[in-house]
Amino acid sequence: MERLSISTDTRLTTVDVTDRVADVVPEGTTGTCTVFVPHTTAGIVVQENETGLREDLETMLRDVVADDGWAHDRIDDNADAHLRATLLGPSVTVPVEDGDLALGTWQSLLFVECDGPRSRTIRVTVTDEAE
User: Domain of 57: which CATH number?
Assistant: 2.60.120.460
Query: What is the number of other CB atoms lying within 10 angstroms of the CB of residue 102?
Result: 13
Rounded Cα distance, 130 and 10, in Å: 42
Q: What is the pLDDT of residue 42?
A: 98
For CA atoms 50, 55, 57, 58, give the dihedral sign.
positive
Encode pLDDT of 43-62 as tens digits: 999 999 999 999 999 999 99
Structural domain harbouring 114 = 2-128
Q: What is the pLDDT of residue 106?
A: 98
Which ranges of the chain have pLDDT less than 50? none
- Strand, coil or helix: what is 73? helix
Q: If you average pLDDT over every residue of the chain, what do you get?
A: 97
- Strand, coil or helix: what is 33? strand
Q: Based on the structure, what is the number of domains in the chain?
A: 1
**44, 109 in Cβ contact below 8 A?**
yes
Q: What is the pLDDT of residue 131?
A: 67
